[in-house]
Structure 1
């Protein structure tokens, strides 16, 4: 069902500061930046490596407001891992399979994700407390 870990989402208060840290410390390269109004974040994707089915990344997330999901996360838990995203071949098919197994979906339909991907989130209470994202990479 899962092809790889697509990315680890990390909530941060200062996107530029975290980009500098990850770039300098771990020699990662920013491959995409965008503002996602729907999700209330500014984000940067830093490339780790390529593998079967696509690349793996660190996704840095700065909230656009304190009342956005990432803003609320930062207020409650501080900076750190926000979610884990798994690469899948077909996000719609994977959502259906997972839902049939009793895991609740936070999204009923895929939505726009980073770098043109299609994404959906699973309910953290059904996945051991971990916010889990499914990612179907954009066709290249």
Structure 2
């Protein structure tokens, strides 16, 4: 089993709330950074999807906060895909302190939208593969 994709981010002072810990909305931004970097690495942001008039769209995001983060902390933000039947798939993230302590779990449900019809398409995994996206990077465990 492969390790999920991960990117390191440093918590900045301006991202804090009045309690002195990372603002709740910023956790979602960190997951977005990891999702976009993984999608870019897999080839989903250039060429292939645009050529077939598709784009990934975020449909749902849920977060569970586990530990506070403060200014100066560094975190590793993972991103790992899970495909199943139907029109949607997941790109989920964990936000971890360098010692492995889980700070937050974020689940995100996405779909592939036909940009002309403005509708989700079936078989997002297959559509991504046919567009030249390296799906094995999105879903390293193979489902």
User: TM-score normalised to the size of structure 1?
Assistant: 0.28
User: TM-score normalised to the size of structure 2?
Assistant: 0.28
The structure richer in strand per residue is: 1
Q: Report which of the two structures shows the higher radius of gyration computed on alpha carbons.
A: 2
